[in-house]
Chain A
């Protein structure tokens, strides 16, 4: 299958005029999103994620640069052109944004309300979508009576009524509890696989990226600092911000309190070892331990599966005489694919 970029950003800048002066939200963004993928954009709040995703369907226009959807330049479209574009690129939101004064069925049908589609056809389509998201029995209910997860399902059904090619998700799971988040992510994955919809996810949660995304871009202060395959980016994070995101999902963190409570012997060295699929850590640890006559105790361990590949790590305390520790540390460092970091000076 040939790879087509369905969405591409070329040198996109966005500046907002505020009372305090110019606020640069996006600067020099270059991005390619491949058709049929689930693409994640991760960043902290204020990084420019929402602006970036809104550029894709023309809710925001860039100050300079261009955004392309296939061969269409989104930021040059007329008002009418944008309306047509938005039936191919649909969107769901953090706050679901259902219309409180309309029933669930009416909410789902709203995007095609003004298109000349027969009542019968509309009803059939709405029923089909509601059953797809598992809410057939709620057709005549009002949004107020639904839970957050159910509301987002309705929003997904609404987003699908135009048979879109792209689904934009703006922090779609950030207002949901972990369990509900999983179920929504599952639906998104299904839509991607069954209907071949390209999904673009904007989030601050690593969990979302890990669970469903194939490609990821890390956005920081309006710039894309790292991009690529999710496994590659997060198994070998290069930028500080990426490392911070990786840290949020592992329990390989030692707080000051925990460190003191551990009461490790004098002269120990606390080391964080992170490794990935190609390398298995255990033989290395025992090997080093034997070779340099140091005691290694494993304090914490973590492992997870991203796209079928492993990422994990350990926090170990190396004890012995100083020279042996140093040699053991150097030996550990020599291992390719293993990252070693001394973390004695915990914050």
Chain B
């Protein structure tokens, strides 16, 4: 049935499965790196905002404006602009290795904003309580911001990973590999419509899995 519905996918089966693996690799690798960086940036933003636990106008504005700057650049342009830097860091600008850096740069501003808003959702009363019970700023970040914000952070991470899956497809256009690359190469350039459809179905499945897992974790964490 697969061969009759998706004849061109069948003939390129090894490349197809390989591209799925590549997409998953890109999402996991850049997702983990970006999560760590985004957490740090979000914490810096929340701590240094004007009514934060350690207000710092300059540091807040540097990060705030940097995020705005990077968010205003369309991803496809960002990839191209980053090529020299990507080559320097990863040794190559193509293949999965070459995509991690631009993906991280592309998704982190969005991710950091998402986590920032998750942390800002925390009742200010809880933060004040942290001070009143004698916690240091570091302890407040660890035991209140991150601990109490975990459900929101999980939800925001889910949304971000789904956006990230979209970005991995775009990287495919400039030779990054993965499903985007596969769809462009066979579906678009060779006009094999069934390949495009197959890629859509796989992406749909990936997004659904991420969403289901994310929702499940958030529910498990809800007290």
Q: Is B223 within 8 A of A57, CB to CB?
A: no
Please tell me the number of chain B residues within 8 Å of chain A, measured between CB atoms.
20
Main secondary structure of the interface of B (DSSP, over half): helix
Query: Quick one: CB contact mask for A130-146 with B, threshold 8 Å, 1 for yes?
Result: 00000000000011100
Q: Which of B135, B150, B151, B223 contacts A144 (CB 8 A)?
A: B223
Q: Is A93 within 8 A of B134, CB to CB?
A: no
Nearest-neighbour CB distance to chain A for B130, whole angstroms, equals 8
Task: Answer whether residue B206 sits at the interface, using C-beta atoms and an 8 A cutoff.
Answer: no
Q: Is B134 within 8 A of A162, CB to CB?
A: yes
Knowing A59-B128, A95-B125, A100-B223 are in contact, say whether A110-B133 is a contact too (CB < 8 A): yes
Knowing A99-B144, A101-B150 are in contact, say whether A111-B133 is a contact too (CB < 8 A): yes
Task: Answer whether residue A90 sits at the interface, using C-beta atoms and an 8 A cutoff.
Answer: yes
The CA-CA distance from A57 to B125 in the complex, in Å, is 15
The CA-CA distance from A73 to B221 in the complex, in Å, is 43
Q: Is A99 within 8 A of B148, CB to CB?
A: yes
The CA-CA distance from A86 to B134 in the complex, in Å, is 5
Q: Is A87 within 8 A of B143, CB to CB?
A: no
Q: Which of B133, B134, B143, B223 contacts A142 (CB 8 A)?
A: B223
Q: Is A57 within 8 A of B132, CB to CB?
A: yes
Q: Is A97 within 8 A of B125, CB to CB?
A: yes
Query: Quick one: CB contact mask for B94-133 with A, threshold 8 Å, 1 for yes?
Result: 0000000000000000000000000000010110110111
Specify which chain B residues have a CB less than 8 angstroms from the CB of A79 in the assembled complex.
136
Q: Is A59 within 8 A of B132, CB to CB?
A: yes
The CA-CA distance from A143 to B129 in the complex, in Å, is 15
Specify which chain B residues have a CB less than 8 angstroms from the CB of A101 in the assembled complex.
147-148, 150-151, 221, 223
List residues of chain A with CB under 8 Å of any chain B CB. Answer: 57, 59, 79, 83-87, 90-91, 93, 95, 97, 99-102, 110-111, 113-114, 142-144, 158-159, 162
Q: Can you pick out 5 interface pairs between chain A and chain B where the beta carbons lie within 8 Å of each other? A: A86-B133, A97-B126, A101-B223, A111-B133, A162-B134
List residues of chain B with CB under 8 Å of any chain A CB. Answer: 123, 125-126, 128-129, 131-136, 139, 143-144, 147-148, 150-151, 221, 223
7 closest pairs, A vs B, by CB?
A: A86-B134, A111-B133, A142-B223, A97-B129, A91-B132, A97-B125, A83-B134
